[in-house]
Structure 1
Amino acid sequence: MLSQLIEFSLKNRFMVLALVGLMAAGGAYNALHLPIDAVPDMTNTQVTVVTDCGTLTPLEVEQYVTYPVEWTMSGLPNLEELRSVSKFGISVVTIVFEEGTDIYRARQLVTERLVDAAKRIPAGYGVPEIGPLTTALGEILQFEVRGNGYTP
């Protein structure tokens, strides 16, 4: 069987070269039109709401800021999960939507609810803001720069 294939290839060199050339051209065409991301986005649709709470303790942040934001966001359509972190002076609420939800539609829904959430937070305790459009892979490190003449 193998000897017959070799014999056929030697007798029909130009046809074999033409087939190899067509396969190489097809491979090159597909390689140039292949959609490739440096780091593919494997995360679900998430929107982050961040509130700077000044000097509030974590318990006060949770009670006066995080809870009202969570309560306001709890009825969003396609909502899958609601997570929050209340730290000294900051509240971070992550709203996770079902797979396939358009990120811009999700951000629009959250932005509409932020107005109501801001009304539920006592005056002077912070204003909730929607976080930047990033994925979980894009958030590597949170840091704060402090020094003489600089304010955090």
Structure 2
Amino acid sequence: MKLSNLSIKRPIGLIMIVLGILALGFVSLRNLTIDLFPEIDLPVAAITTTYSGAGPQEVEQLVTRPLESALSSLQGIDTIQSTSQPNASLIILLFQNGTNLDNALLEVRERVDQVKGMLPDNAGDPSVMRFDPQQTPIMALGLAGTDLSRLENVAETQVIPYLERVDHVASVTTMGGLTREIQLVLDQAQLRQYGLSAGQIAQALQAENRSASAGVVSKGSQEQQIRINGEFTSLRDIASTLIPLPAGGHITVADIAEINDTFADESTITQVNDEPGLILSVMKQSGGNTVEVAERVGKAIGQIQERLPEGIELTVVMDMSIFIRSSIDSVLQNLIIGGGMAVLILLLFLRSIRPVMVKI
């Protein structure tokens, strides 16, 4: 039986089938994740290793080459690219298409663990990462104000905690701004007089600046853990730290050093709307809808701005959802234009509206 005859004889059944297909399509459309790029798994892995105080040649000979030798025999590797720079080594592994990246990363970690013991003592543990194009910021926010020293504290205490509570926001990172730093300017003459070195001062400070467990106390039927908070909370704590002398006795840090509460040297300068500021990068959770997350963050920005101190402004610098909305609008516009052109062409050839409606 032809479809046209079946449609004429069973119109109600055909209408129900069409309505069922439309309902299924509507539900699927609502649950469809909207993103700028499709979810793909690129066969790329990266191994990063830090080596503080080393030049590019030392990094290449002592870190990069041992790791390359261990990784070059892995199955499925297409290309190995390495970069040795001061204080760091970067190795990028390009696998052949079709390689199971999960299994490949397990083998990479096993090879790295075998070589890790051969690396210099000052080198950090190699970090194995996979390249995921989804792990890119969906929004960049600018926090600007005249007092740059306040921005870092405002971002960490007010802005970031609020944004990370937004649904499907994974994390928020900062770039720029001033980072507080406590500097100790040692008196070299005093160090020579007491027979001390800078390393001994650093060890004494590290030993004092830590918390520890002091055991368990029984209270009725319960056991409570006792914790001693020994971390520094003020400059006075640092100044009064005792330094043991080789000949016996103790001195304090204030006797041999000048303590400065300042900021770390700026390696980058960030400006937002021609004012000093810092950038907040918003990352969404895997599988999240970029457009919906951006809309929720936009609403949160208005609520945060009401709580910020006077003179500090939070604005949107970059929004990936704008490009997604533009792409969707372009598709809808082309769909409408294409449908209209098809109707006009049918009307031109058929010269009657009734057969055109039947064709549609």
Distance 1:137 1:59 in 2: 34
Corresponding residue SS for 1:84: strand
Distance 1:146 1:58 in 2: 28
Query: Which of structures 1 and 2 has the bigger CA Rg?
Result: 2
Equivalent position to 1:78, from 73, 76, 79: 76
Query: Which AA in structure 1 matches 2:108?
Result: V
Corresponding residue SS for 1:83: strand
Q: Residues 68-91 of structure 1, C-alpha deviation per residue, up to 9 Å, x if partnerless?
A: 111110000111221122121011
Equivalent position to 1:148, from 145, 168, 181: 181
8 Å CA contact 1:47–1:106 kept in 2: the answer is: no
Equivalent position to 1:105, from 103, 106, 110: 103
8 Å CA contact 2:55–2:86 kept in 1: the answer is: yes
Aligned residue runs from structure 1 range 11-26, under 5 A: 17-18=15-16, 20-26=18-24
Could you say which residue in structure 2 is the equivalent of 1:138? 135
Deviation at 1:113, TM superposition (A): 0.4
Distance 2:86 2:95 in 1: 27
Distance 1:131 1:14 in 2: 60
8 Å CA contact 2:48–2:89 kept in 1: the answer is: yes
* Larger relative contact order, structure 1 or 2 (CA cutoff 8 Å, min sep 6): 1
Q: Residues 30-70 of structure 1, C-alpha deviation per residue, up to 9 Å, x if partnerless?
A: 43565x46342445222221111011111221122111111
Q: Residues 92-126 of structure 1, C-alpha deviation per residue, up to 9 Å, x if partnerless?
A: 112222223233212210111012322443x3241
1:69 matches 2:67: yes
Corresponding residue SS for 1:135: coil
Distance 2:90 2:134 in 1: 17
Structure 2 spans left out of the alignment, 5+ residues: 1-6, 138-172, 183-262, 265-360
Distance 1:84 1:40 in 2: 28
Q: Specify whether residues 13 and 41 from structure 1 end up closer, same or farther in structure 2 by C-alpha distance, changes over 3 A only.
A: closer
Deviation at 1:19, TM superposition (A): 5.5
Distance 1:88 1:112 in 2: 26
Corresponding residue SS for 2:181: coil
1:46 matches 2:44: yes
Corresponding residue SS for 2:42: coil
Distance 1:31 1:43 in 2: 24
8 Å CA contact 1:44–1:98 kept in 2: the answer is: no
Distance 2:25 2:13 in 1: 18
1:88 matches 2:86: yes
Deviation at 1:146, TM superposition (A): 5.7
Distance 2:78 2:45 in 1: 12
RMSD: 3.6
8 Å CA contact 1:49–1:94 kept in 2: the answer is: yes
Could you state the TM-score of these two structures normalised by the residue count of structure 2? 0.33
8 Å CA contact 2:64–2:82 kept in 1: the answer is: yes
More strand by share: 2
